[in-house]
Amino acid sequence: MSTIRVVMVIYMLVVLAIGYYAMKQTNSSSDFFIAGKKLGLMALAMASFSAAISGWVFVGGPGLYFSIGQGSLWMTFPTAISFAMAWIILGKRMRLLTEVNDCMTAPDAVYARYKSKWVSGIAAVAILVGLVLYLANQITAFAFILSPIFKINFQWAVLVGMGIVLIYSVAGGMLAGVYTDVFQGTCMIIASIIIFTLCLVTGSGTQNMAANIVDALSKDAVGAKFVNPWGVMPAITTMSWFFCLSIGIVGQPHIVHKFYMVKDVRKMRWGVVLAAIGGMVAGLLWFGVGLTVKYLSVTGKLPKEAVELLKKSTDNTIVVFLNYYTPKVIAGVVYAGIASAIMSTADSFINIAAASAVRDLPFAFNKKLTSKQELFMGRIVVVVIAVITIVLALTLGPKGIALLGAFGWGTFAAALAPAIGIGFNWSRGTKQAAFASIVVGLVCNVGLEIAKVLGAGFYKTYIAPKGIYNGTLSLCLSIII
């Protein structure tokens, strides 16, 4: 474990150094919020991919595969389609908007399209609420990783994780976020390739592992279902995941926001390929670790300590493989990759949330700050958001991950995808429809997720039996509105 700690510490120092370098390059609110519109295509593609592939892919993904099988892959491999859609539908359009209208945030673009401060204001509220809660989810996941590695309790792990994100976010803003995204995206891709290769070696190939799983589970009538396209889940559930994750990307503010930053708009068509490849490679870790640990489990090859870890939480699937079946140096690199996934998303969230608070909400109430004021207030708001995040993470703890995660992808998809993805490409979309769509999407998805957690009677009677993902149902209602 000492080797893993050394690798992780080196990684943290590199991230802080990147933040310091970015601080020296940050001279205006344009630099702070949209990286000065001076990113190359490779940097932008890597940044958008690494910001989208959060800790859920590396921590939750393998555990989900361990639990439900092949059907979980409908959550990760659609990223190739998702990134292609985002770049094709919004990429060039968003970049040109910032030239014509000086847009720096998604609500800026919403105002430029609908000419309504009410619509841009409610979009800012949806982004601010969702990002703060989702940020708490990311920091909680980060603490989940740091705590066992450094032998510190969960509370200290939350403070350390938030502190690291806070330092380079306050110092360098989005410029620091993008620079670290490039570094962290590289870590994620390397980690995925290395671990997938180790998985194939450990399990003697995917065919051998799948055959053993089918044989071991055949007596429980699960058997072949586990490795079938839908896994053990209903087809409608897995396809609703696919729908929401594919269509919903155009409503993700941390993805949409990145398109403002590219330097040469003429080369954006190549970003489709670059970002999609990165997303597909990251999905290999989800698949490989989940399949391998399931194979080791059903064949009785796991040590007792690993079995106990899995009994506590299936999210420990990745921990089991790294601690017991991976060389320590490589495990350290992979843990750094997991931290990369979480931190790259977290730094994007904290800066975009700050932009919503400093630029978009004041604008909705006819207030305008100067560039210097935005830069100064942006850094203060980042600190305030960090404090709120820490309070949420410490109050809800690991048990709050499910609730906080409900404000993630599905919420942004339902609230913003129709107004941005459809409205920006359809001239007949109105400001009244956009306002109603955002409100309905946000309230519906958050309400359904809370009802699910609380076990509300109407949810158990009318919604749960249908097997449709809450985000997909909310997205459909938002589109109809």
**CA count, 13 A, side-chain hemisphere, 433:** 17
pLDDT of residue 36: 47
**∠309-211-240 over CA atoms, to 5°?**
70
Helix, strand, coil shares of the chain as percentages rounded to 5? 85, 0, 15
Which residues does the chain have with pLDDT short of 50?
A: 36
pTM of the model: 0.84
Whether residue 70 contacts residue 79, with contact meaning beta carbons closer than 8 Å, is answered with no
pLDDT of residue 200: 95
Question: Which two three-digit tokens encode residue 65?
Answer: 């595969």
Fold of 2-398: Sodium/glucose cotransporter (1.20.1730)
Strand partners, 39: 262
Whether residue 173 contacts residue 363, with contact meaning beta carbons closer than 8 Å, is answered with no
Q: Where are the domains of the chain?
A: 2-398
Tell me the chain's radius of gyration from C-alpha atoms.
Answer: 22
Alpha carbon distance 12, 157 (integer Å): 14
pLDDT of residue 168: 61
Whether residue 223 contacts residue 69, with contact meaning beta carbons closer than 8 Å, is answered with no
